[in-house]
Amino acid sequence: VKQAKAAGTPQVYEPKEASAARRRFSIETELRRALDKDQLKLFYQPLINLKSGEVAGFEALARWTHEDRGEISPAEFIPVAEESGLILQLGRWAMDNAAQTLANWDKAIGETLPLYVGVNLSAIQVARDNIADMVSSALRSSGLTGDRLTLELTESSIVQDPGRATRVFEALKALDATVAMDDFGTGYSSLAYLQRLPIDVLKIDKSFVSGMMRDPDAVAIVRAVLSLAEALGMSTTAEGVETVELATTLAALGCASGQGYYFAKPLEEDEALAYWKSRRRR
Ligand code: C2E
Ligand code: MG
Ligand code: MG
Ligand code: MG
C-alpha cells in the first residue's frame, strides 16, 4: 500500500503540463468555493470622455485575491470559469453587483449620476444563459433604468450562433441598455454583423492602441475603425490608453472615449466614486 501511494505521487520531476493541468483543476474547485463564499470583488475602471475630460462611465472588472495564491488574474480565472460553466454564476453576480454599485453611488451623491456601468458578458453566457432575464432582474433589484448599463460583448458571442446573438442583442436594446463590441478587431466576426446587429459602441482593442506610437499600421487600423464606426453611427472607446500622447492623438482622431492606465487603473468602489468627483466639471 505504501509503495503504491508513493508511486502515485511523483515528487522529483513533474512535467510542466501536468502541473498546469493540476493548477487549472484546483483553480476551478477554488473558484467555485470563492463564488459561493462571495470572495470575488468588482473593481471599476473609468472611461473618459476624450473631449470634455469627464468620466463617462466605469467598466466593472472582476478581481480575485486567493487566500494562499494571492491575486489571480481574470486572464487565468475567466477562461476556467468559461470552461467549467461557472461563468454563468460569476456573470450574474457581476451584473447584480455592478448595477447595485451604481445605484449606491447615486444614493451617496443624492442624484441620478450622468454615468453608466459596463459589464462584460462572456460568449458562454450568450449561448447558455437568459441574458434578458439576468439584466432585467439586476435592473429591478437595483432600481436603475436600462440606459445606465452597457453590456460588453465580444465577437465570439456572435460567431457561434448568430441567430441567437441577434435575439440577445435585440433584447438588450429593448431594455434600453447600451451594447458595446469589446476587443473589436481581435475576433473573427464578419463585418456584415456590424451592420445587422444593434451595436452602439466599438471598443478598440488595446493591442491596436498600444501599437499606435511605434507602428503606422496600427494608426491606420485605428483610423479605419473610427471612420467605420462613424459611418455606421456608432460611438467608440479606445482601450489601453497608457500615455498622454495616446489620449491626445485619439482625441484628435475623433475617438469618443478612452480607458487606460494614463487615466486610472481599475479602482475599488469608493475610490472610483472619488475619482469621478475629482474630474467632475463644475
Ligand atoms: P476586457 O473586458 O477587454 O477589459 C479590459 C482589460 O484591460 C482589463 O483587464 C483592464 O484591467 C485592462 N486594462 C485597462 N487599461 C489598461 C492599460 O492602459 N494597459 C493595459 N495593458 N491593460 C489595461 P483585466 O481586468 O485583467 O480583465 C481581463 C479580461 O477578463 C477582460 O478584458 C474581460 O474579458 C475579462 N473579465 C474581467 N472581468 C470579467 C467579468 O466580470 N465577466 C466576464 N465575462 N469577463 C471578465
Ligand atoms: Mg470589457
Ligand atoms: Mg476589452
Ligand atoms: Mg481587450
**By percentage, how much of the chain surpasses pLDDT 70?**
94
Print burial letters for 117-142: b (CB count within 10 Å at least 16), e (below 16). Answer: bbbbbbbbbbeebebbebbbebbeeb
pLDDT category, 6, cuts 50, 70, 90?
A: very low
Q: Give the number of other Cβ atoms within 10 Å of residue 242's Cβ.
A: 15
Residues with CB under 6 A from ligand 1: 45, 61-62, 73-75, 78, 91, 94, 120-122, 152, 182-183, 206, 239-242, 259-261, 266
**237 CA to centre of ligand 3 in angstroms:** 9
Phi, psi at residue 210, to the nearest 5°? -70, -20
Report CA-CA distances (Å) from 52 to 49, 116, 153.
6, 16, 26
Atom index in ligand 1 nearest the CA of residue 242 equals 18
- DSSP one-letter string for 109-120: HTS--S-EEEEE
| Average pLDDT taken over every residue of the chain | 93
Q: Which pLDDT score is estimated for 241?
A: 98
Rounded CA separation 158/164 (Å): 8
Q: Which pLDDT score is estimated for 282?
A: 62
Q: Using one digit for the tens of pLDDT, what is the confidence trace for 119-144?
A: 999 999 999 999 999 999 999 999 99
Cell representation of residue 232: 455606421
Q: Using one digit for the tens of pLDDT, what is the confidence trace for 207-260?
A: 999 999 999 999 999 999 999 999 999 999 999 999 999 999 999 999 999 999
Report CA-CA distances (Å) from 170 to 130, 145, 153.
13, 17, 13
Q: Tell me the ligand closest to 97's alpha carbon.
A: 1
Over residues 161-166, mean pLDDT: 95
Q: Using one digit for the tens of pLDDT, what is the confidence trace for 173-218?
A: 999 999 999 999 898 888 889 889 999 999 999 999 999 999 999 9
Q: Which pLDDT score is estimated for 14?
A: 61
Whether the ipTM is more than 0.95: the answer is yes
Atom index in ligand 1 nearest the CA of residue 125 equals 44
Rounded CA separation 17/9 (Å): 16
